[in-house]
């Protein structure tokens, strides 16, 4: 366990980046933090190296990703059809089922050592959700949670619709993967999957809810502010 908690966080904007490249970069950062933690175990407290934290913002070209416990049947199109719609597909190492990423969607990957903050995965997930809920509130959109389901939702019952999906991987309190927040993205791509393995709920975006295109940089700024406040981050560019 770290003696000195480190809230310093490296903020990195990856822009529009291929999924595999972003996944490889996440993995590199994730593994480096694990290496530092392993090295610290054999050192006295005064010689231990603080573990860094990273916060990655990006967008992806059209891609479907299936979590390690997901069902491949929830991808409703074949390899040729994937090519026809200009999308790729990856079976990855996060929790959760299948989801979609694409242009116009904000994707956030916190590569945190939770021992720098708190050792509670449930709290971590709820704070990620809260950052989106508070961001939506800035746009006059009321959002919340549905018991037993991850992510951020609008409406209830038959009118419930998902606006943000979450999926993470953790090892020794280090996190990777994160959240995908629908802003201006093309929602027709969700027709090609059973989103998150849930077949009786709709998917929406901020643009759809407000009936207009949204300034992505503005939403990024708002979301970042919420994450900084909720996790008490000290940002480093």
Handedness of CA 60, 58, 74, 92 (dihedral sign): positive
Q: Which of 10-24, 69-83, 121-135, 164-178 has the lowest mean pLDDT?
A: 69-83
Angle at 211 between CA 208 and CA 217, to 5 degrees: 75
Strand ranges inside 95-160, DSSP E: 98-101, 105-111, 144-146, 149-154
Which pair of structure tokens corresponds to residue 101? 């990423």
Dihedral through CA 15, CA 19, CA 193, CA 146, nearest 10?
A: -60
Is residue 146 helix, strand or coil?
strand
d(CA 52, CA 227) in angstroms, rounded, equals 17
d(CA 54, CA 233) in angstroms, rounded, equals 10
Band (pLDDT 50/70/90 cuts) for residue 78 is very high
Q: What's the average model confidence in pLDDT over 181-200?
A: 86
Instruction: Select which of 196, 206, 219, 223 is catalytic.
Output: 196
Average pLDDT, the chain: 94
What is the pLDDT, as a whole number, of residue 198?
61
pLDDT tens by residue, 7-55: 999 999 999 999 999 999 999 999 999 999 999 998 998 899 999 999 9
pLDDT tens by residue, 88-132: 999 999 988 899 999 999 999 999 999 999 999 999 999 999 999
* Strand order, beta sheet including 63-66: 88-91, 63-66, 98-101
Residues in the chain: 237
What is the pLDDT, as a whole number, of residue 197?
62
Q: Which domains does the chain have, with CATH numbers?
A: 8-236 (3.30.930.10)
What is the pLDDT, as a whole number, of residue 224?
98
What is the pLDDT, as a whole number, of residue 199?
65
pLDDT tens by residue, 194-230: 876 666 679 999 999 999 999 999 999 999 999 999 9
DSSP state letters, 198-209: -SS-EE--HHHH
Q: Active-site residue 58, yes or no?
A: no
Q: Which of 41, 37, 87, 97 minimizes the C-alpha distance to 67?
A: 97
The end-to-end CA distance of the chain, in Å, is 26
Q: Which of 178, 11, 26, 12 minimizes the C-alpha distance to 107?
A: 178
% of the chain beyond a pLDDT of 90: 85
What is the pLDDT, as a whole number, of residue 2?
44
């Amino acid at each position: 366990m770290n003696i000195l908690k480190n809230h310093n966080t490296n903020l990195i904007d990856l822009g529009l980046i291929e999924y595999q490249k972003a996944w490889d970069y996440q993995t590199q950062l994730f593994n480096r933090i694990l290496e530092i933690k392993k090295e610290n175990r054999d050192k006295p407290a005064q010689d231990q190296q603080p573990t860094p934290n990273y916060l990655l913002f990006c967008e992806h070209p059209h891609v479907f990703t299936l979590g390690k416990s997901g069902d491949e049947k929830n991808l409703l199109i074949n390899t040729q059809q994937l090519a026809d719609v200009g999308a790729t597909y990856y079976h990855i190492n996060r929790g959760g089922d299948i989801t979609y990423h694409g242009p116009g969607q904000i994707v956030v990957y916190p590569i945190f050592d939770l021992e720098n903050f708190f050792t509670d995965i449930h709290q971590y997930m709820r704070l990620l959700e809260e950052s989106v809920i508070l961001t939506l509130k800035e746009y006059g959109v009321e959002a919340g949670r549905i018991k037993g389901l991850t992510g951020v939702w609008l409406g209830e019952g038959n009118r419930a619709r998902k606006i943000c999906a979450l999926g993470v991987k953790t090892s020794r309190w280090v996190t990777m993967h994160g959240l995908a927040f629908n802003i201006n993205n093309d929602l027709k791509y969700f027709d090609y999957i059973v989103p998150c393995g849930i077949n009786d709920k709709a998917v929406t975006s901020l643009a759809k809810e407000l009936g207009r295109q949204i300034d992505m940089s503005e939403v990024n700024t708002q979301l970042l502010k919420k994450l900084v406040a909720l996790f008490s981050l000290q940002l480093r560019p």
